[in-house]
Amino acid sequence: MIVRPIDGGVEVLAPAKLNLFLEVLGRRPDGYHEIESIMVAVDLYDALTFTDDPSGRITLHCDDSTLPTGRDNLVVEAAERLRERAGSPRGAAIELHKAIPAQAGLAGGSSDAAAALVALDRLWNLRTPPQVLDALAGEIGSDVAFFRNTPAAICRGRGERVERLPLSEPLHFVLVCPPVGVSTADVYRHLTPPDQPRPIEPVVEALVENRPAALGESLFNRLQPVAESLAPALTRVRDGLASLGPLLDGHLMSGSGSAYFGLGRNQGAAQAAARHLETLGLGRVRVVSCGL
């Protein structure tokens, strides 16, 4: 997350995330699923600006007309929760420019909500303790807390229990966003949690020890087969990545889909993979990095 002052307000670049590992441990009594995941933030950003509104209103304008702009948008919910927690009468005018596609498993909405907490705490000069902001993030959504702990972290519980991971070298990916989205709720509804969950430790060790080949071999997402069964056209993206051979150390769907990524052996390999994938007509293709 990149936060910087602008004339009369605050601007935030809110990153997308990729899941290098995602296991579902079981269904919880509250209806959510217990997960264990490794997430990394990458340099695909939504851009948000926040300016003070003396009237006390919180308003959101977005350049994507398909997205809600009321309390059912996580940005507005985050703003209102923060204001209620602080007992503040302040308002804000928020502008959101979307670059992270929805229903792609990239958590753009959660990242935008985390951006709202950070930006409005600064704009309103609230000086909220970090642990309080973390708690609010966990209440708003499962992935929101991660974006306060970038660039890499283990996420447990619903995703709100976050443990940062060190990242010694940047990672480079080719990202493919197909023109079709996948509903997270639908994917979880059709999921059967495993009797024996996949262990996370090999992925953590490969990431922390900077062993990209081992990391590529150990990429895992329990949700991917379910998402592909619900949207079979997505297998074309998977197969396209699989065809790239030595350019990639591994490939995976992010979250509940529909975006896929390939882990490049280096930045040049990721760029070469992107050039090839652009000829296949699978969707929007770009190179993204973590840890630069």
Which residues are identified as catalytic? 17, 143
Q: Which residue has the tokens 């949690």?
A: 193
Quick one: angle between helices 74-86 and 108-123, nearest 10?
30
Angle between helices 74-86 and 130-140 (to 10 degrees): 140
State the DSSP string of 77-136.
HHHHHHHHHHT---EEEEEEE--SPSSSSS-HHHHHHHHHHHHHHHHTT----HHHHHHH
If residue 61 lies in a helix (H) or strand (E), which one and from where to where? Answer: strand 58-62
Torsion, CA 234, CA 237, CA 242, CA 243, rounded to 10: 130
Picking from 138, 44, 124, the residue whose alpha carbon sits closest to that of residue 91 is 124
Contacts 24+ apart (CB under 8 A), 193-200: 193/24, 193/25, 193/26, 193/27, 193/33, 193/222, 194/23, 194/24, 194/222, 197/23, 197/24, 197/25, 197/36, 198/21, 198/23, 198/222, 200/21, 200/23, 200/36, 200/38, 200/154
Cα-flanking dihedrals φ and ψ of residue 289, to 5°? -135, 155
β pairing state of 260-264 and 248-253: antiparallel
Structure tokens at 183: 């509903």
